[in-house]
């Protein structure tokens, strides 16, 4: 799973969000390292909806424009949890190798 996809699903894990809210959440979750552009975001949201990982929660009109809120589905939550565990295992393996090497340890970078 690509990092932006992981972060989008993570942004939706706690509550439904509209596009701009997702962009803000992804930026915060990544400490500013990942900034999604609207075209990239909406393409990803369409793909995730096609995969039934997210769905439209509601729509509302704001200043004459439609604001669509998305939420994580149960299937999406399962996929996110599986990916988080996979990343946790990979990080643990890297930390173990660094300890064996005697080099830089986690938290010292």
Q: Spell out the domain ranges in the chain.
A: 3-97
Residue-wise pLDDT for 32-77, tens only, equals 999 999 999 999 999 999 999 999 999 999 888 889 999 999 999 9
Predicted TM-score of the model (pTM): 0.89
Q: What is the CA radius of gyration of the chain?
A: 17
May I ask the CATH architecture of the domain 3-97? Orthogonal Bundle (1.10)
pLDDT higher than threshold 80 for residue 102: no
Look at 104 and 54; give whichever has higher pLDDT.
54
Bridge-partner residues for 67, per DSSP? Answer: 60
Residue-wise pLDDT for 2-30, tens only, equals 999 999 999 999 999 999 999 999 999 99
Identify the CA nearest to 61 among candidates 18, 24, 16: 18
CB neighbourhood size of 28 (10 A): 11
Contact 4, 44 (CB under 8 A): yes
CA–CA separation, 12 and 108 (whole Å): 31
Residue partners of 36: CB distance under 8 A and separation at least 6: 4, 8, 22, 23, 26, 27, 44
The pLDDT value given to residue 81: 98
């Amino acid at each position: 799973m690509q990092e932006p996809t992981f972060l989008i699903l993570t942004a939706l894990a706690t509550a439904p969000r509209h596009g701009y809210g997702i962009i803000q959440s992804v930026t915060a979750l990544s400490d500013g390292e990942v900034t999604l552009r609207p075209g990239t975001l909406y393409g990803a949201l369409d793909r995730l909806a096609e995969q039934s990982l997210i769905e439209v929660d509601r729509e509302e009109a704001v200043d004459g424009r439609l604001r669509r809120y998305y939420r994580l589905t149960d299937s999406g939550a399962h996929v996110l949890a599986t990916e988080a565990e996979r990343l946790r295992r990979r990080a643990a393996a890297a930390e173990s190798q660094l300890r064996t090497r005697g080099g830089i340890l986690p938290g010292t970078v």
